[in-house]
Amino acid sequence: MQFDFSQKRLLEKKQFRFIEDGLFIRLTFAGKVHEYELKYENIGYKVIYWKNGLNVFLILAAFFTVASIGMHYDTSENKVDLFGQIFAILLIPLCIALYFLTYKRARYLTGQGIPQPIELFSNKPDTEAVDNFIDEILSRRKQFLAQRYMQFNRNLSFEPQYYNLNWLLETEVINKQEYDQKLAELNGLYPSAAIVTGFRIGN
């Protein structure tokens, strides 16, 4: 299967392919594969940046540092032997190395009411490629949702079309200027209803 965008990091691999109404995503970790589809309605519109490693390894490194110092200056009869002290010292750089191995820079496409954010590595294969892919997702999302929910029909009731238009604004598919224009168009389909600051009240 051919994918539009792929990322790889250590034991993780992310692959993405555009489908008619969203994204097909394949996630691979240590040989285990998870595949699913996300509809454009459930794809986020805000980009959140995140970077961190597993802090537990830094905590362990600090613990072994304090422990090795304590063992070195210990003068009690139950003092840890030299092998134990060396072992504790060797664990320090190991824990630090594991922290940097788990260190990850990521971006998440999310937003209010989005149940499953999309995670992307920030710099795999490079930052520009990730930027371009995110722009492509948002562009296709906007085009698809606008086409689906901004085609008004006089034979349908006002309320669901009005709520769809508000949802498009809230999820940043359209801006306020586009919203006002489409609201005026929608109002024009129902001339017999009263309008109060963007809301309709039946006669």
Q: For the segment 121-177, what is each residue's pLDDT rounded down to a tens digit?
A: 999 999 999 999 999 999 999 999 999 999 999 999 999 999 999 999 999 999 999
Whether residue 92 is found in the same domain as residue 9 = no
Q: How many domains does the chain have?
A: 3
Structure tokens at 165: 């238009």
Whether residue 41 is found in the same domain as residue 115 = yes
Whether residue 117 is found in the same domain as residue 38 = yes
Whether residue 154 is found in the same domain as residue 193 = yes
Q: Is 182 exposed, middle or buried (0-12, 13-18, 19+ CB in 10 A)?
A: buried
Whether residue 192 is found in the same domain as residue 164 = yes
pTM score, whole prediction = 0.76
Whether residue 78 is found in the same domain as residue 47 = no
Whether residue 155 is found in the same domain as residue 194 = yes
Whether residue 9 is found in the same domain as residue 47 = yes
Q: What is the pLDDT of residue 195?
A: 52
Whether residue 115 is found in the same domain as residue 137 = yes
Q: Tell me the residue range of the domain where 97 lies.
A: 55-102
Whether residue 141 is found in the same domain as residue 42 = yes
| pLDDT band with cut points at 50, 70 and 90 for residue 35 | very high
Query: At a CB cut-off of 8 Å and minimum separation 6, what does 110 contact?
Result: 44, 46, 48, 117, 118
Whether residue 110 is found in the same domain as residue 40 = yes
The CA-based diameter of the chain, rounded to the nearest angstrom, is 95
Place of tokens 């940046």: 49
Whether residue 84 is found in the same domain as residue 107 = no
